[in-house]
Amino acid sequence: MTDTTPHQPTTLFTLPDGPRTASRYDFLLGGKDNLHDDRASAAALTAAFPDIGVAAHELRRFMHRAVRYLVAEAGVRQLVDVGVGMPKPPNVHEIAHQHAPDTRVVYVDHDPIVMAHARALLVPGDGCAPIGYLEADLRDPHGILASPAITGLDHDQPVGLLILAVLHFIPDDERPADLVRALLDGLPPGSHVAISHTTFDPLPAGVRAKLDALPPGRHGTFQARTFDQVAALVDGLDLIPPGLVPISHWRPDLNDDGDELAVPAQAAGYAVIARTPSAIRTPGRGSRNTGPAQRPAQPVSLPQPQEARS
């Protein structure tokens, strides 16, 4: 018998008004998963800070290096990526599985559109470990920790927690350091956290003034932080060398001659990978290559972009 029931459209999600951080970032990275409001917001930010595209690319490049470090050098086999962003190869699981196909990855984001893309496109290749997906908010760390995606991980082995280009969307009154610590407290000892964070520290006064003059609320909540404010996010943790540094200086890629690739002066970000004390040491894996934990005694002076560009 033919079903004559009229088809009821299903609302998967409602597109919010205004820019979405994931799609604006996608646009700044040269992607196509963005809408008019995302592009308009990116254009306004670019008018204030012409090198914001460079900054976005440096954030993404740190993700590549952080995953490579965690999996290939630190021996981590479980990654929880909070704040996934729109897919842009190489994605976290692709880098991880290139080095260790048994790496379990859990993708977490509060944006249902991001998670829809993740479920459809961020899928493991043949023979690789399954991927978990969780629509959740970083501001609810206990909800994240209680989810089956996280409780299903091996709690006898360390986790690599990625919080990359996300914490600048959490204002101080939402206590970002406490959120990081709450997540780490619920993960096995010896777990790592990788953080990248936008800063205005190296920006010329003219650029800062233009960014500060942007209409509040139109571009979403955003809080750039100083070196000391980012350091507070990893207070009490063991910092993996080189510690908390300007983002392009965190173990930069080398060219074919073994020289560091040129560091863009416009990369307005900090990066750090830290580890909770009392690491579980797994023979042949783990913290062997990380060297002693260290913390820079002085704020690092960042290269100055050319004032003429502001």
Ligand X SMILES: C[S@@+](CC[C@H](N)C(=O)[O-])C[C@H]1O[C@@H](n2cnc3c(N)ncnc32)[C@H](O)[C@@H]1O
Q: Which residues does residue 273 pair with via DSSP β-bridges, in sequence order?
A: 194
User: Shortest approach of ligand X to residue 84 CB, angstroms?
Assistant: 5
Do residues 100 and 120 make contact, with C-beta atoms less than 8 angstroms apart? no
* Number of neighbours of residue 195 by Cβ within 10 angstroms: 24
* Number of neighbours of residue 119 by Cβ within 10 angstroms: 13
What does DSSP say about strands 269-275 and 245-246: parallel, antiparallel, or unpaired? antiparallel
- C-beta of 16 vs 130, nearer to ligand X: 16
- Interface with ligand X (CB under 6 A): 21-22, 25, 59-60, 63, 82-85, 109-111, 114, 137-139, 164-166, 169
- C-beta of 54 vs 82, nearer to ligand X: 82
Compute the chain's Rg from CA coordinates.
20
User: Shortest approach of ligand X to residue 270 CB, angstroms?
Assistant: 13
Do residues 275 and 240 make contact, with C-beta atoms less than 8 angstroms apart? yes
User: Shortest approach of ligand X to residue 135 CB, angstroms?
Assistant: 9
In the numeric block, the tokens 């704040």 are attached to: 83
Residue 201 CA to its chain's centroid (Å): 19
CA angle 77, 79, 80 (to 5 degrees): 155
User: Shortest approach of ligand X to residue 136 CB, angstroms?
Assistant: 7
- C-beta of 73 vs 137, nearer to ligand X: 137
- C-beta of 69 vs 169, nearer to ligand X: 169
- C-beta of 80 vs 279, nearer to ligand X: 80
Report which residue's Cβ sits closest to ligand X: 85
